[in-house]
Chain A
Amino acid sequence: MDLSYSEEQVMLQDSVRRFLGDHYGFETCRRILQSGPGYSPEIWEQFAQMQWLALPFEENDGGLGYGVTELCLLMEEMGRALCVEPVLANVVLAGQLLAMLGTAEQKQRWLTPLIEGRQQISLAHAELPGRFDLAHCRLQAERLEGGFCLSGHKSVVLNGPNADGFVVLARSGGGARDASGLSLFLVPADAPGVIRRDYAIHGGGTGCELTLDQVRLGADALLGAEGGAFETLEAVLDLATVASCAEAFGAMQALLDKTLEYLKTRKQFGVPLASLQVLQHRLVDMYVDIEQSRSMVLMATLRLEGEDAAERRRAASACKAFVHKTSKRLAQQAVQLHGGIGVTEELDIGHYFRRLTAFGSLFGDREHHLERYLGLWQGRQKDELLRQAV
């Protein structure tokens, strides 16, 4: 057991922090958010040049062969800088599915350009009635002569407006909530029958509703085994959950630093607010939440580096259930302690607040992950059900 970062990891974190410190101030962030695509193509290109998009991919796939730890350090720094570049959508969600399931040809067409920053791919998996249940999927995949036909609707596809293609979760067998019978398909954004409705996401980034109206695909569009997508999807969502917790953790640190600074300078009743004990104790509550969240993200990061799927599920859900609680509490305190200025567009505090609010609903909220954690303890997990069904 070893809980300290390597020199290389510390250097990576420093270089991301320095780059974002130099290139990603709050004003830049606001400008980017008001621009069309909701991210900065120039910065994205620089991310690719610095090979940050290549971090968690194997060298065979054109990646750097780093692990979850390095990915989470990148995300933490992005969170601290309020950075809205679509790393989560491309590198984690679509990228990992392609890396884990793609054939050599699929990787060459879809993954290599993603790692090089020349193409963006989004995962379309969520359907609203299922809340956060990954197995809930009605979008149908029918087998046709020489391929498939997909029809149905997906909601809140992250970074969808910027995607050149989609990894779409579809049902090729079983009932609407079965973990078996789920398949993944690669769908070009310009394929006939692909209809998007775009919007911005609270706290930064974009999303879309995606309707597939009898979209016809070749046999080579199937990503992974037909009907067997659930386990890999679940693993990738666990990774995305922990990576987004790392991002939230970065944002939490920025909020404490800024709130502390503000309370030291803001005077009321003739004294700096930071001299009042009741406010000091609130700042300490924020500090404690940060230290405990740091431990939790560390724990989950390390568990996800391992191979054990049961530990991975437990760790990801524990981490999200915890960091959702602490981040919400901390963000509320930060706004409260800033007073009126904390609820304005002008100040970054409100933007961090929005980011952390959105984080809560991403890949399952606290309630969902507590329920899942409890289910894992009581042996109600999906793969158990799968095994019983076989």
Chain B
Amino acid sequence: MNLEFDEQDEAFRSEVRDWLATHAPRDWSDWMSASREQVMAWEQTLAQKGWLAPGWPTEYGGPGWTTTQRYIWDEECARINAPRPSIFGHVMCGPVIMAFGTDQQKAEHLPPIANGTRIWCQGYSEPGAGSDLASLKTRADRDGDDYVVNGQKIWTTWAHKADWIFCLVRTSREGRPQEGVSFLLIDLNTSGIEIRPIHTIDGEHHLNEVFFRDVRVPMANRVGEEGQGWTIAKFLLNHERSSVGGSSGSKVALAQLKGLIDSDPALRDNPAWGKRLADLEIDLLALEYTNLRALEKARSGESPGSMPSVLKLQGTEIQQALSELRVEMGGYASLPWKADPVGEPAFATATQIYNFGRAFTIYGGSSEVQKNIMAKFALGL
């Protein structure tokens, strides 16, 4: 057991650092509020280097990195605040297709994800199915070689900028609710799909409602067996949680806040600010090592157990605490609504980020749902 980086690791670090210095975009860093064009350009640059999907094996166009290399990659991206690619394709849909997809689905969908030429979004939640996802009602009825899909998805991040959506749909109303769910890949250009924006309390448009009216989806677009959707969803949620709790974004935020305290005498002279930040930095350190432990387990083929839930729960709390601290540190500078920066630019979006950030502990399985999951699977209750 050791934390040393060997010569090869250090060589890898310089390679990554040099490459990022010349290729990473400097005019934006958050994919959520970036434009489709910005994100695609960056993803394609990453893809040409083979680095778009750090967790993918080489056979599907991933870099086949070790845990240590993934850690170094995260560190180096965080160091210069390089944008992370959107997660729906390479973190979520890709691994599902690798694990459950047919050869034809792999051939059709994995290359565009690895190349950064197709953007995905996720169709899970419905107006009546939030934390209780299994009660979803969007139905897919067989008709010849197609399913006919009817229903509504909600809270769909990036649907308005995406090409495809992966959906949980109901293919049966028999048995337990979980048993009647299937996993479908749907081209958003299919007729009968309507996308309406949801504006969130940061005043932005990230989220949508997606309506399906008699949308015909080839049965060949079902991943796994009919009724296997719930198993796939659980597999996927574990992938998602590992990444949404991911500490690299918080590391960037933390480094910025540190810089602000160091450079502003009004903040520096009151040790309360430094202490709050030091406390959060230490929480983040714990998260980082839990993340490394989870990555290590995944690599050695062990189940990560409840660690993804720990990461999601703690990671989102740290994100929220950092955004809260930024608003408070900003003082007056945090007040103007989406204005040109007043004073320090780092505070210009502080309140927006804090406001939208209330969603961190709600999406991807709310904190309370994570606790239910841990009670069941970690404690056997």
A174 to chain B, nearest CB (A): 26
Instruction: Say whether B1 contacts A302, CB under 8 Å.
Output: yes
Q: Which residue of A lies closest to B282 (CB)?
A: A318
Q: Does A156 contact B (CB under 8 A)?
A: no
Give Cα distance in the complex from A3 to B313, angstroms. Answer: 23
Q: Which residue of B lies closest to A306 (CB)?
A: B3
Instruction: Say whether A287 contacts B374, CB under 8 Å.
Output: yes
Q: Does B292 contact A (CB under 8 A)?
A: yes
Which of A40-48, A175-183, A373-381 sits within the interface? Answer: A373-381
Given contacts A291-B307, A295-B286, A299-B289, contact A377 B278 (CB under 8 A): yes
Which of A55-63, A102-110, A276-284 sits within the interface? Answer: A276-284
B250 to chain A, nearest CB (A): 14
Q: Does B19 contact A (CB under 8 A)?
A: no
Give Cα distance in the complex from A287 to B290, angstroms. Answer: 13
A367 to chain B, nearest CB (A): 9
A294 to chain B, nearest CB (A): 8
Q: Which residues from A are CB-within-8-Å of B1? A: 2-6, 9, 69, 302
Instruction: Say whether B5 contacts A292, CB under 8 Å.
Output: no
Q: Which residues from A are CB-within-8-Å of B310? A: 288, 291-292
B332 to chain A, nearest CB (A): 25
Return the contact of B285 from the options A69, A274, A318, A374 (Cβ within 8 A): A318
Instruction: Say whether A303 contacts B3, CB under 8 Å.
Output: yes
Q: Which residues from A are CB-within-8-Å of B2? A: 1-2, 302, 305
Return the contact of A291 from the options B67, B71, B290, B296 (Cβ within 8 A): B290
Q: Does B45 contact A (CB under 8 A)?
A: no
Most chain A beta-carbon neighbours within 10 Å: one of B3, B274, B286, B300: B286
Give Cα distance in the complex from A302 to B279, angstroms. Answer: 21
Instruction: Say whether B313 contacts A322, CB under 8 Å.
Output: no
Instruction: Say whether A284 contacts B289, CB under 8 Å.
Output: no
Instruction: Say whether B289 contacts A296, CB under 8 Å.
Output: yes
B374 to chain A, nearest CB (A): 5
Q: Which residues from A are CB-within-8-Å of B375? A: 277, 280-281, 283-284
Give Cα distance in the complex from A292 to B292, angstroms. Answer: 12
A253 to chain B, nearest CB (A): 13
Instruction: Say whether B286 contacts A1, CB under 8 Å.
Output: no
- Number of A positions contacting B (CB below 8 A): 41
B316 to chain A, nearest CB (A): 13
Q: Does A221 contact B (CB under 8 A)?
A: no
Q: Which residues from B are CB-within-8-Å of A285? A: 371
Q: Does A231 contact B (CB under 8 A)?
A: no
Q: Does A370 contact B (CB under 8 A)?
A: yes
Q: Report whether over half of chain A's contact residues are helix, strand or loop; otherwise say mixed.
A: helix
Q: Does A213 contact B (CB under 8 A)?
A: no
Q: Which residues from B are CB-within-8-Å of A287? A: 306, 374, 378-379
Instruction: Say whether B296 contacts A292, CB under 8 Å.
Output: no
Given contacts A292-B287, A299-B289, contact A274 B381 (CB under 8 A): yes
Q: Does B258 contact A (CB under 8 A)?
A: yes
Return the contact of B379 from the options A284, A298, A321 (Cβ within 8 A): A284
Give Cα distance in the complex from A291 to B274, angstroms. Answer: 26
Q: Which residues from A are CB-within-8-Å of B3? A: 1, 299, 302-303, 305-306
Q: Does B368 contact A (CB under 8 A)?
A: yes
Q: Does B275 contact A (CB under 8 A)?
A: yes
Q: Which residues from B are CB-within-8-Å of A283? A: 375, 379, 381
Q: Which residue of B lies closest to A373 (CB)?
A: B278
Q: Which residues from B are CB-within-8-Å of A6? A: 1
Q: Which residue of A lies closest to B291 (CB)?
A: A295
Q: Does A371 contact B (CB under 8 A)?
A: yes
Give Cα distance in the complex from A69 to B1, angstroms. Answer: 8
Give Cα distance in the complex from A280 to B378, angstroms. Answer: 11
B72 to chain A, nearest CB (A): 9
Q: Which residues from A are CB-within-8-Å of B271? A: 374
Interface of chain A residues 331 through 379 with chain B (CB within 8 A): 370-371, 373-374, 377-378
Q: Which residues from B are CB-within-8-Å of A275? A: 381
Q: Does A260 contact B (CB under 8 A)?
A: yes
Q: Does B36 contact A (CB under 8 A)?
A: no
Q: Does A90 contact B (CB under 8 A)?
A: no
Instruction: Say whether A299 contacts B374, CB under 8 Å.
Output: no
Q: Which residues from B are CB-within-8-Å of A378? A: 262, 274
Return the contact of A1 from the options B9, B262, B281, B368 (Cβ within 8 A): B9
Chain B 328-369 against A: per-residue CB contact (8 Å), 1 yes, 0 no? 000000000000000000000000000000000000000010
Q: Which residue of A lies closest to B67 (CB)?
A: A1
Chain B 256-279 against A: per-residue CB contact (8 Å), 1 yes, 0 no? 001000100000000100110011
Q: Does B314 contact A (CB under 8 A)?
A: yes
Q: Which residue of B lies closest to A293 (CB)?
A: B286
Instruction: Say whether B296 contacts A3, CB under 8 Å.
Output: yes
Q: Which residue of B lies closest to A281 (CB)?
A: B371
Q: Which residue of B lies closest to A1 (CB)?
A: B68
Give Cα distance in the complex from A9 to B310, angstroms. Answer: 26
A324 to chain B, nearest CB (A): 11
Instruction: Say whether A322 contacts B282, CB under 8 Å.
Output: yes
Q: Which residues from A are CB-within-8-Å of B282? A: 318, 321-322, 370, 373
Interface of chain A residues 1 through 43 with chain B (CB within 8 A): 1-6, 9
Q: Which residues from A are CB-within-8-Å of B68? A: 1
Give Cα distance in the complex from A302 to B2, angstroms. Answer: 6
Q: Which residues from B are CB-within-8-Å of A373? A: 278, 281-282
Q: Which residue of A lies closest to B292 (CB)?
A: A3
Q: Does B293 contact A (CB under 8 A)?
A: yes
Return the contact of B314 from the options A1, A5, A288, A305 (Cβ within 8 A): A288
- Between-chain CB contacts (< 8 Å), 5 pairs: A275-B381, A295-B293, A296-B289, A306-B3, A306-B4
